[in-house]
Amino acid sequence: MIVRRKKRPGLDWRLAMCLGLLFFLLAGCEGGGQGEKTGQERLVRLDNLQQLPVEQVEPDSQALRIGVGAILSPQGTARSYQPLIDYLGRKMGKPAILVQRKTYQELNDLLARSVVDLGFICTGAFTEGARNGTISLLVVPQINGKTTYRSFVIVPAVSPAQGIADLGGKVFAFTDPLSNTGYLYPLSLLRAIGQQPETFFGRTIFTYSHDRSIAAVMEGLSDGASVDSLVYEFASKRNPEIARQTRVIWESRDFGIPPVVVPRTISPARRAMLKELLLGLHHDAEGEKALAELGVERFVEPDPGMYGL
């Protein structure tokens, strides 16, 4: 079922949230679980994202294929990541291709089959791939001097809700079944009070991107949502209307930021070259511009312990 609502005059959230965003970031994701049940009436889907044709994924076996998780809607992802993709392609002397899929799991599958060479994925998707032995850490982004992020539970500014327990019987927007901040964390909050989303909420939504979840709350399609803190803060700075029309009622502890990964089967030479390029981006004028589009200061060496590895 697809829910549509007429856009309010003057509301410019789509433009603001497509300006960039932290990268996979941002990420926020969760790790695991099946978010949708066949025929389930209580689930409303907001997305209408079509998969890219196969020929756009692997037109050239020598191309550099870069997969980006659906943390942002497709328009926002393309705008934010294209400068970096172009930069990496030029530096490696290869055509560079952006690969997108609707769900985090689909991108994990592409990494597992080495269809893509580099992946910007959410934290939950990474822990799932690491457990399966198909994905390896490469680097992580540093944002505002930190390599962590949080999950925010947001509601409309006029909502009386003060915590997730106040959203019983309401409509709630999740991001993706593998999203750490957009599904797994709020799921843990519900379990802590002895609840499950299917029986606690009146209806649940999977939006498949954090900007869509924010929009669902702003447009009145959802009474609450769990979103990536980096995405929310970045978007709110670009569009004050977001902060005026929504508010945060719960914040999680810090999690390891959404990482940059490679397939386990990648060649050592290609892995080393990609890592060197990403770690050195902030030393290059063109690289700095690409980082700015993502809202990232620099890429740094990862700490596997941040992800429980």
CB atoms within 10 A of CB 281: 23
The amino acid occupying position 106 is E
Please write the tens of the pLDDT for every residue from 79-91.
Answer: 789 999 999 999 9
pLDDT at 202: 97
- Domain range summary for the chain, segments of one domain joined by +: 13-19+147-255, 54-146+257-302
The answer to whether residue 18 scores a pLDDT higher than 60 is no
Find out whether 100 and 70 touch, Cβ atoms under 8 Å. Answer: yes
Q: Is it true that 13-19+147-255 and 54-146+257-302 share their CATH fold?
A: yes
β-sheet bridge partners, residue 143: 146
pLDDT, mean over the chain: 82
Q: What is the pTM of this model?
A: 0.75
What burial class does residue 301 get, using C-beta atoms within 10 Å of its C-beta: 0-12 exposed, 13-18 middle, 19+ buried?
exposed
Supply φ then ψ for residue 65, to 5 degrees: -105, 120
Domain covering 54-146+257-302, topology = D-Maltodextrin-Binding Protein; domain 2 (3.40.190)
Please write the tens of the pLDDT for every residue from 180-190.
Answer: 999 999 999 99
- Range 13-19+147-255 has CATH code 3.40.50.920: no
Out of 98-102, 126-130, 268-272, least confident range: 98-102
Please write the tens of the pLDDT for every residue from 232-275.
Answer: 998 898 899 999 999 999 999 999 999 999 999 999 999 999 99
pLDDT at 249: 97
β-sheet bridge partners, residue 296: none
Out of 57-61, 99-103, 126-130, 164-168, least confident range: 57-61
Name 305's Cβ contacts closer than 8 Å, sequence gap at least 6. none
Mean of pLDDT values over 118-138: 94
The amino acid occupying position 200 is F
Read off the pLDDT band of 75 (50, 70, 90). Answer: low
Bridge-based pairing of strands 64-68 and 96-99 is parallel
